Chains A and B, each alone.
Chain A
Amino acid sequence: MNQNKSRYSSLIYSLAALAGLIVVWQGVVLFTGVPRFILPPPALVFSAFVENWRLITDHGLVTFIEVILGLIIGIILGIATALQLEISPTARLFLRPILVFSQAIPVFALAPVLTLWLGYGLISKVTMAVLIIYFPVTSAFFDGLRKTPSGLLDLAKVMQATNLRTLFYLKIPAAMPSLLSGIRLAAVYAPIGATIGEWVGSSEGLGYLMLLANGRVKTDLMFAALFTLGALSIALYGIINVTINKFLFIYENSSNNNAF
């Protein structure tokens, strides 16, 4: 009850902040007299959105698919790598430096190469999103796996547990909260990856639409696409966050289930 109330009031505050931002934006346009092609007023952006509704949703859908595919593949790869690192000391020795080194190269810098190799279509964007979320998921989950309470591992040793069973029944469940926070981060990063991919070379997607609109000095359309991208990211994060919180709730508080 109380929680619902606070959620409700936080929604009110968010909407008020948004409204405030729009007012400031309108104020800047009014008082500075900045030309429309530099900063269009909010109303113009809104009407551009309404006029180009079909166009924006079509491109939005493309970006959405890229992001979702990137998320799924990136998370699966991240989980697999973290498990591999945990199971095999050799893998730890070989893969860790490569992982760290791969992070030293900004993923953005790889976008042109990926487009060159994988073409202008879906695959290069999904790859971009995968690359950008792979490391956070891997490192969050691997850290979690390494942080199993030592007492539990002692207990497992005295109980003569097999390594694999210790992993599945103790280490992985204990690392779940870490993995889930890695996935939360991934939800924020994935749209960035997809958009960068689209900027570098594509014929579809919100990133492409923004570049196109910018090139034709349709700044209002560019802004409309930008806000759609923002809304898409926030919605995605919201959905994943709510799902994760539900899952954590089941995980930590339920009194009667068999998710052992």
Chain B
Amino acid sequence: MVNLKHQPIYNEVHINGSVTLSGTAILDNINLTIKAGQWTALLGQSGSGKSTLLRLIAGLDTGADFTGSITCSPQVNLSGNVSYMAQDDLLLDWANVLQNVCLGARLRGQGSDEIKARRIIQKVGLKQHAHKRPQSLSGGQRQRVALARTLMEQKSIILLDEPFSALDARTRTDMQDLAAEQFKERTVILVTHDPGEAVRLCQSIYLLQDCSINSINALSPPFPKSINDKAMFALQSALMTQIRQSERADI
């Protein structure tokens, strides 16, 4: 198994094409390159197609039609190189934390590396809880387990579908810090509706609006930004202004 610490694999993701949902265009003729080894935000309101795009990259069913191509460079098969974390922690109620973290290996029929799993559980601060069931954990702790499960997969591309949006403000900030630290060398795609989150964590930001994708000038590293970073607030309010200028069909 490749140890990412010493041998980082960088993968860029290219997306070209259009997404339609029962005849209506959601994303029209987009051309997007996700840079390797950094965090990229897909920012947009509900129905903007950001989650659809992420699910397309993950190779999951979307219910929408996609014409175009999603490729990876250097040329590798995208499926098998991605790891996915959603808003729902998707923990198995009938398995303990350790077993949940080892789920991937078990589902593939590989032996699970328990020592590594325990190390990761310690890294996310759940050492005392390794043998507990998810029911006895708080929302933040559950999302930490999901993070540990994602880390355990050791993939170069990490897909995050609003993983922090169900958490309370403080837990969300803590989780952002933890995720930023743990996913440091990976290609991370973060889907979010929160400009603040995008600005705080991501080196590239794409705004999905009115069927197209616009690149936004993001802040420069290091990330995550401190919670009282002035530039972060300025960019956040500029972004919010831009978002509110878009035509809104659903009001």
Contact = CB atoms under 8 A, between A and B. Distances in A.
B107 A162 contact: yes
B108 A152 contact: no
B84 A255 contact: no
B126 to A, nearest CB: 14
B86 to A, nearest CB: 6
Contacts of B59: 157-158
A176 B99 CA distance: 18
A247 to B, nearest CB: 11
A161 B83 CA distance: 13
A255 B109 contact: no
A89 B153 CA distance: 31
Contact of B107 (A165, A176, A253, A259): A165
A6 interface: no
B94 A165 contact: no
B132 A255 contact: yes
Contacts of A255: 96, 131-133, 136
Contacts of B133: 253-255
Contacts of A149: 90
Say whether chain B's binding surface is mostly helix, strand, loop, or mixed. loop
Nearest to A250: B94
A161 B132 CA distance: 24
Nearest to B55: A154
Contacts of A154: 55, 58, 60, 84, 86
Contacts of A258: 99
Contacts of B135: 252-253
Contacts of B131: 255-256
Contact of A158 (B83, B93, B109): B83
B217 to A, nearest CB: 31
A159 B104 contact: yes
A13 interface: no
Contacts of B108: 159-162, 165
A232 B195 CA distance: 65
Interface string B150-183: 0001000001000000000000000000000000
B103 A169 contact: yes
Given A158-B83, A252-B94, A166 B107 contact: yes
A151 interface: yes
A191 B148 CA distance: 50
Interface string B97-128: 00100011011110000000000000000000
A11 B104 CA distance: 48
Interface string A141-182: 000000001011011111111100110011001001000000
Given A160-B107, A161-B108, 6 more contacts: A156-B107, A157-B59, A159-B107, A173-B92, A253-B133, A255-B96
Can you list the 9 inter-chain pairs with the closest CB atoms, starting with the nearest?
A161-B107, A159-B104, A158-B84, A260-B99, A151-B90, A260-B95, A173-B94, A165-B107, A256-B131
Interface of A: 149, 151-152, 154-162, 165-166, 169-170, 173, 176, 251-256, 258-260
22 contacts: A149-B90, A152-B90, A157-B58, A157-B59, A158-B58, A158-B59, A159-B103, A160-B79, A160-B107, A161-B107, A161-B108, A162-B109, A165-B109, A170-B107, A173-B94, A251-B94, A252-B93, A252-B135, A255-B136, A256-B131, A256-B132, A260-B96
